[in-house]
Amino acid sequence: MSPKEVIALAKAKDVKIVDLKFSDIHGSWQHFSIPVAELSEGLFENGLGFDGSSIRGWKAVEASDMLVMPDSSTAWVDPFVEATTLSLVCDIEDPITREPYDRSPRGVAKKAEEYLRSTGIADTAYFGPEAEFFVFDDVRYNVTSNESFYAVDSAEGEWNTGKEEFPNLGHKIRHKEGYLPAPPADRLMDLRNEMVLTMMELGLKIEAQHHEVSTGGQCEIDLRYDTMLRMGDMMMTYKYVVKNVAHRFGKSATFMPKPIYGDNGSGMHTHQSLWKDGKPLMAGDGYANLSQEGLWYIGGLLKHAPALCAICNPTNNSYKRLVPGYEAPVILSYSARNRSAICRIPTYSSAPGAIRVEFRCPDPSANPYLAFSALMMAGLDGIENEIDPGEPMHRNLYDLPPEESSELPCLPDSLRLSLEALRNDHEFLLKGDVFTTDFINNYLEMKMGEYDAIRLRPHPYEYSMYYDI
């Protein structure tokens, strides 16, 4: 929609409030609201000022003035607010230079799309993430200097088979057996349907929804692929809808990658393809119907995978999911169909438009704008430098004997190691000023603070292991 059309929509829907949303570096929406009387075409041209120093990882207090610039194409009426509220996703600009703020994640994605077109390799990048999440009935946690605990619960969790539920009707899901069970074992069908219907009302295109592998309420809703920036906006909306619908149902949804020990964590397998002049660039007559460019794109992903983890798996908790045996591949390899490879080429269809690469290690704690941009930049680097991905791997990499698996290159097993990889390998992200040196240095500092926050605190399980030493 144009600004005029947004204003007309606001009048037609009798909107009272306009909500301005933007993403921080961590991938959380920040927002503030204005009366609808302030909605004008000038708002889209001139923006509104706010204090950028209060946003995590942004401007210092001595240079805190910033502008939010609403994007009229993102307008929708918020279904979760009592007063009729129009939602607009915003970009961030410096009020003096009027240049895009280089620490704004949405701005990074916009620059990534501009860089793609400037290379002449392709003009469009499509992304299709498969984001998983957990829905809990109860969540409790606390951390003090002398105490630390967490406790989550789900009515369908295997641990509740002996619980007094007055009556307990059974139908609990065993560990690692939650993939596609029908109700009554799947207790979240109505919840996911409500999420899907709400997303569709807001313009998101949904392909499927289902229960996922883990006990304890793990779910997945699949979005139909779209362009990079649009998919970043859609993923932010996706998370907003999932959390708010769960809250309406008296439940709590989380995109934390590994909230439950001993079962599958939540991933965000990310399908990617490049197109030029309306034609798929990755389709060809090579391995798994890939073009040479498609293979080089994989080469770039594999070469830069350790550094990509710092952005695509950006939390300490992410590395509790990236362990062998839980459908989260860690060995740097590629293959058609093989889900134990970090790069998979889906073979559901051989139609040229369906040929794509699936990168399977990201998780939904990632900021989608940053993750998609980094993945595309790595793939482009592979094409520009003709990086050979080597031979495909067709064996089940989860079951390799230790003497074989130890010889294969793997992803980092901690946030610290992934940050070290990013520190040593980020030149590919700086092309076209998509990511800047300031962004990378600031990101590394923020994330090392998160690593230290965990490193410095005793873990409850350490008492079980070491108290009697």
As annotated, the binding site for L-glutamate includes: 264-265, 321, 327, 339, 360
Closest C-alpha to 372, from 257, 205, 234: 234
Task: Point out the catalytic residue in the list 71, 130, 186, 222.
Answer: 130
Retrieve residue 331's tokens: 């060995």
Residues 6+ apart with CB under 8 A from 186: 156, 173, 211
Tell me the C-alpha distance between 197 and 176, whole Å.
28
How many residues make up the chain in this entry?
469
Task: Point out the catalytic residue in the list 212, 222, 233, 263.
Answer: 212
Residues 6+ apart with CB under 8 A from 246: 135, 191, 195, 252, 253
Task: Point out the catalytic residue in the list 132, 158, 222, 233.
Answer: 132
Retrieve residue 293's tokens: 């460019």
Closest C-alpha to 114, from 233, 227, 235: 227
212 included as an active-site residue: yes
Given a contact cutoff of 8 angstroms between Cβ atoms, the answer to whether 368 and 314 are in contact is no
269 included as an active-site residue: yes
Q: Is 336 helix (H, G, I), strand (E, B) or coil?
A: strand
51 included as an active-site residue: yes
φ, ψ of residue 85 in degrees (nearest 5): -125, 130
Please classify residue 398 by burial: count the beta carbons closer than 10 Å to its beta carbon, then call 0-12 exposed, 13-18 middle and 19+ buried: middle
φ, ψ of residue 121 in degrees (nearest 5): -70, -45
358 included as an active-site residue: yes
Task: Point out the catalytic residue in the list 93, 137, 220, 233.
Answer: 220
Q: Is 11 helix (H, G, I), strand (E, B) or coil?
A: helix
Task: Point out the catalytic residue in the list 211, 356, 360, 426.
Answer: 360
Pairing of strands 17-23, 334-336: unpaired
356 included as an active-site residue: no
Tell me the C-alpha distance between 252 and 134, whole Å.
8
Q: Quickly count: other Cβ atoms within 10 Å of residue 457's Cβ.
A: 12
Task: Point out the catalytic residue in the list 339, 384, 413, 433.
Answer: 339
Given a contact cutoff of 8 angstroms between Cβ atoms, the answer to whether 430 and 437 are in contact is yes
Pairing of strands 343-345, 334-336: parallel
Please classify residue 189 by burial: count the beta carbons closer than 10 Å to its beta carbon, then call 0-12 exposed, 13-18 middle and 19+ buried: middle
Tell me the C-alpha distance between 319 and 303, whole Å.
19
190 included as an active-site residue: no
- Residue 436 DSSP one-character state: -
Q: Quickly count: other Cβ atoms within 10 Å of residue 29's Cβ.
A: 15
Residue with token string 């007063």 = 83
Task: Point out the catalytic residue in the list 103, 269, 416, 426.
Answer: 269
Task: Point out the catalytic residue in the list 5, 41, 45, 51.
Answer: 51
Using alpha carbons, list the distances in angstroms from residue 292 to 144, 198, 303, 334: 55, 41, 16, 14
Which residues carry a binding-site annotation for Mg(2+)? 130, 132, 212, 220, 269, 358
Retrieve residue 315's tokens: 């939390």
Which residues carry a binding-site annotation? 130, 132, 207, 212, 220, 264-265, 269, 271-273, 321, 327, 339, 358, 360
Residue numbers annotated as active site:
51, 130, 132, 212, 220, 269, 339, 358, 360
